Homo-oligomer: A and B are copies of this chain.
Amino acid sequence: MRRAQKARRFVMDITVAIDAMGGDHGPHVTIPAALQALKRHSEINIVLVGLAEAIEMELRSHGASVGPRLRIHHASEVVAMDEQPQSALRNKKDSSMRVAINLVKSGEAHACVSAGNTGALMATARYVLKTLPGIDRPAIASTLPTLHGKTYVLDLGANVDCTAEHLLQFGIMGAMLCSCVEHKPNPTVGLLNIGSEAIKGNEIVKEAGELLRGSHLNFYGNVEGNDIYKGTVDVVVCDGFVGNVALKASEGLAQMMRSFISQEFKRNLFTKLMGLAAMPVLNAFKRRVDHRRYNGASFLGLNGLVVKSHGSADSFAFGFAIDQAVEEASNGVLRRIGEQIAVDAHPAMVSVS
């Protein structure tokens, strides 16, 4: 079930700016995904940002054209997938990525989505939108599947060195994101550590545990790596180095297990027949662990909503990133984070840390 079907919306007429040129496949992926999203969400408008000619050509190939809910905003440059963030920031002021973010800044769009270069997207978003008051550093949050649903995990790679205060801020942002999008009034927050006891971990993590315990969040305590997939808590907080490694190790393991299953079924004629017979069940399993359904990482802590799609996403996966942006815009994520940060993040303390 796509997320759009279950949401209770607070804001109508959402406009999403899409970096049409971003990602490994550019318009071939972003445009069909945008067209599908317009069908799924009757209340949204989409602005396709990028080279007008390329966008129009792709629209034509789908028998589609601009209209009241779909428009094109021309941007003359494209940020390359391997471009240095600072170079993109300095030299590509009319890139599709930058212009899409500008539309969020000016209020013409409620959120933007890009499958472009992560570093450039974060640097540009931070430069254009700035961070929310009380937030030192934006974080990258995404959901991972669990035995019973999903867990929000942050940070997934934006910050390789975090203080305890940063981890507290991540906890607040993750809890508000989960609360708004999943409609959970008081989501549980766990601190990723190497043991469940409060005395475990390094000094920063121990101090972060104290700060989280003293906050208004529903703090569960320490969780371990396996708790991510057990679904022990709604939100898992960690620094970006640890989060990134855990995420990528998981991707690697899932890929390996899929290869093993496939190899075992291809071993000989007999096992191939078994594989054919079991196909419906194997397909149901594949659907359940399909990482495309978890595509769409939120850049949290910025003064505007930015969702990052995997660069290699296909249009099915990119659609989930658009849905994530729609959900966040519809459910007031920005406002909720701002309110909770004011209560819990002690901006004065943070700014001197």
Contact = CB atoms under 8 A, between A and B. Distances in A.
Interface string A257-299: 1011100110100010011011011101100110000000000
Given A226-B255, A229-B256, A277-B277, A250 B250 contact: yes
A201 B278 contact: no
Contacts of A278: 265, 274-275, 277-278, 281
B247 A229 contact: no
B250 A253 contact: yes
Nearest to A230: B252
Given A160-B194, A281-B264, A229 B252 contact: yes
A146 B226 contact: no
Interface stretch (A18-26, A69-77, A234-242): A234-242
Contacts of A201: 160, 241
B194 A256 contact: no
A252 to B, nearest CB: 3
Nearest to A224: B248
B228 A252 contact: yes
A160 B229 contact: no
B264 A247 contact: no
A202 interface: yes
Contacts of A277: 274, 277-278
Interface string A36-59: 000000000000000000000000
Nearest to A119: B195
B254 A146 contact: no
Contacts of A352: none
Interface string A282-319: 10110011000000000000000000000000000000
A246 interface: yes
A203 to B, nearest CB: 8
27 contacts: A160-B194, A160-B201, A192-B245, A224-B245, A225-B244, A226-B249, A226-B251, A226-B252, A226-B255, A227-B252, A228-B252, A229-B249, A229-B252, A229-B253, A229-B255, A230-B252, A230-B256, A249-B249, A249-B250, A253-B254, A257-B257, A257-B289, A260-B288, A267-B281, A271-B280, A274-B278, A278-B281
Interface of A: 145-147, 157, 160-161, 192, 194, 201-203, 205, 224-230, 238, 240-242, 244-257, 259-261, 264-265, 267, 271, 274-275, 277-278, 280-282, 284-285, 288-289
A-B pairs, 6 with minimum CB distance: A225-B248, A226-B252, A225-B249, A229-B252, A194-B244, A278-B278
